[in-house]
Structure 1
Amino acid sequence: MKIEFTKMHGLGNDYIYVNTMKYPLTNLEEKSIAWSRPHTGIGSDGLVLIGDSDKADFSMRIFNADGSEAKMCGNASRCIGKYLYEYGLTTKTDILLDTLSGIKELHLQVKEGKVESVRVDMGIPADIHWVDLGDAYPFQKGVAVSMGNPHLVIFVDKMEEVALAEVGPVLERHPLFPDRVNVEFAQVLDKENIRMRVWERGSGITQACGTGACATAVAAAFSGQCGSHATICMDGGDLTIDWAGEGQHLYMIGPAVKVFDGTIELKE
């Protein structure tokens, strides 16, 4: 049996998208690992499943490149909005998306039948606090933020001095985070612009992370370094984040890009 998939990316954070309403899949962890491999598979940061929902318009499940399941992905949610509209699964420009971290609201900016950008209501950031990482680690403190998934934001003076491939996997498995954590390194450029790089839980270094960009903006506002509006500059491009403060919903605005369509033959 052959199934159709679409490769998409949000600022270089690339996933394989499958409409499971048309192609039901099993053994999801194994498929994500195999298909995500760059040389023997399709190559991606993971597998995203688009499905139906009894609570929202559609649902999203995300499996990282190592097979672990993520609760939320901002870049993937924008890509799903584009997929749903441009492949004719909906004519709505306001879509409710059911995720493991709750229902998210997508607003599509459409021009001449194409989705140019998507604004996502990412919900209310939670559990925001400073954490002491200990003297045994190359960085002693950071800000923990939950965006439905866990994040650790560490502020640095010079991004080029961060050995991300070395410190990322160590901090991902810090004992303060028994379920592992996404790690963002942030350099505040001014009150509205932040340079950020990310080590994603389960995927490693990626070009961008939507929830990581949100967490970075929250951590910068929490620590008094930025205000309610910030542009997060990542390796793959920029996201705009608006957050009015504690107890308020956070909004993420950015693009989504289709790379190509393809088919893959199931081995089972």
Structure 2
Amino acid sequence: MADTVQYLKMNGLGNDFVVLDARQKPLKLSHDQVRWIADREQGIGCDQLIVLEHSPLDGVDVFMRIYNAEGGEVDACGNATRCVGYLVAEELGKKAVTIHTNAGLLNAELKGDVVSVDMGTPRLAWDQIPLAEEFEDTTGIELQIGPIDAPVLHTPSVVNVGNPHAIFWVKDLDAHDLARLGPMLEYHPMFPERANISLAQVMGRDHIKVRVWERGAGLTEACGTAACAVAVAAVRKDLTDREVTISLPGGDLYLEWRASDHHIIMTGPYELDGEGTLPAELFEESAA
């Protein structure tokens, strides 16, 4: 008989997660198990599954493993980092914690009802995104959707903030069907590791509205790493200042791309929605 596995349900601006704690008992999940948990009709339902583990590094509070809804691992998730930062800070009675991810170490600081996360420095070279072709300037690469003389979307900025992002600058977010365009862009041959796709409308030097098609998850209410990527790309194109509000369907994130060390600081809310127990039969085959 498989042991019962407890879970927490959390969200950051509507970008929602199932969080499992594997620090006391290791938990190895198959693609099928992850997909079942993420399934909103048959399972629990979430954009990403988060598994907390012990970090092998000294002085680090937790390792955060991230799975997308398709069942594969991803390296970074900004909204999940804020949620986990809150959980671990509360558990340890600390204001600041260090979270180990496949993308590196992230520092999270609890500030009342928001968490600030130092997301590190962006990677901007074409082979760090990565792209299938070499581009000297990644503030706008040669890629377009639609007719050559009247493209629907074109010349995206590309940034890697632990995962690859392509940002298309538009005049009107509502004029584009991201649910239709997102899949073809995510899987475009230009992106050998696929990409998160954002549409960004600049509202002013301190404000951008964004919609995101998240790699492996689809349309999402919010994406923290996308907000980071948009903020960096906007500064590089001199569209905004270094401190900017990113408005997503689920709410606002506050970004600063510091000039002093080029670190990206993301600040936003977290929510604990509830808890439950995963069905034992989900683990019976793997326990046999």
TM over 0.5: yes
TM superposition shift of 1:247? 5.6
Letter paired with 2:230: T
Counterpart pick for 1:40 among 39, 42, 46: 42
Counterparts in 2 of 1:40 and 1:96: CA distance versus 1, 3 Å: same
* Partner of residue 250, structure 1: 264
1:78 match:
82
Partner of 1:200: 214
Which secondary structure state, in structure 1, belongs to the residue aligned with residue 241 of structure 2? coil
Pairwise CA distance, 1:26: 1.7
**Residue number among 112, 115, 119 corresponding to 2:116 in the alignment:** 119
Q: Once the 2 structures are TM-superposed, how far is the Cα of residue 266 of structure 1 from its aligned partner? A: 3.1
What displacement does 1:145 show?
A: 0.2
Deviations 1:56-77 (A, max 9, x none): 2111011001112110000000
Q: Does 1:6 align with 2:12?
A: no
Name the residue aligned to 1:113: none
Q: In structure 2, list runs of 5 or more residues that go unmatched.
A: 126-137
Alignment of 1:228 with 2:232, yes or no, is: no
For 2:135, the equivalent position in structure 1 comes to none
Match of 1:16 in 2: 18
Counting only pairs closer than 5 Å after superposition, residues 29-108 of structure 1 correspond to structure 2 as 29-55=31-57, 56-86=60-90, 88=91, 90-108=92-110
Compute the displacement of 1:245 (Å).
4.2
Give, in angstroms, the shift of residue 24 of structure 1.
2.5
Question: Following the alignment from structure 1 to structure 2, what is the Cα–Cα distance between the partners of residues 109 and 219?
Answer: 27
- The CA deviation string for residues 139-196 of structure 1, in whole angstroms up to 9 with x for no partner, is 2210000101100011000000110110000100111111100001000001100000
1:215 aligns with 2:215: no
Q: Which runs of 5+ in 1 are unaligned?
A: 111-115
State the one-letter code of the partner of 1:131. I
In structure 2, how many angstroms separate the alpha carbons of the residues matched to 1:242 and 1:230? 6
> Per-residue deviation at 1:138?
3.4
Percent sequence identity is 37
Query: Is 1:109 equivalent to 2:111 in the alignment?
Result: yes
Contact 2:205 2:240 in 1 (8 A): yes
SS of equivalent to 2:255: strand
Is the CA contact 1:33–1:46 (under 8 Å) kept in the aligned structure 2? no
Residue identity opposite 1:84 in structure 2: V
Distance in 2 between the 1:247 and 1:117 partners? 23
Partners of 2:38 and 2:222 in 1: CA distance: 17
Match among 140, 162, 177 for residue 163 of structure 1? 177
| CA distance 1:236–1:244, change in 2 (3 Å) | same
Q: Which residue of 1 aligns with 2:134?
A: none
C-alpha distance in 2, partners of 1:212/1:204?
13
Is the counterpart of residue 240 in structure 1 residue 254 in structure 2? yes
Q: CA deviation at 1:29?
A: 2.3
Q: Is the 8 A contact 1:192 1:230 kept in 2?
A: yes
Shift of 1:260: 0.4
SS at match of 2:84: helix
Output the CA distance in 2 between the equivalents of 1:234 and 1:246: 27
Query: Does the residue aligned with 2:83 lie in a helix, a strand or coil?
Result: helix
Given residue 121 of structure 1, which amino acid in structure 2 is its aligned partner? D
Secondary structure, aligned partner of 2:124: strand
* Alignment partners' CA distance in 2, 1:23 and 1:33: 21
Matched-pair contact (CA < 8 Å) for 1:28–1:63: no
Q: How many angstroms apart in 2 are the aligned matches of 1:139 and 1:57?
A: 42
Post-superposition offset of 1:23? 4.2
Shift of 1:109: 1.3
TM-fit CA distance, 1:251 = 0.2
Larger Rg: 2
**Counterpart in 1 of 2:200?**
186
1-side partners of 2:176 and 2:269: how far apart? 27
TM-score normalised by the chain length of structure 1? 0.93
TM-score normalised to the size of structure 2? 0.87
- Equivalences for 1:133-172 in 2 at 5 Å? 133-134=143-144, 138-172=152-186
Partners of 2:9 and 2:19 within 8 A in 1: yes
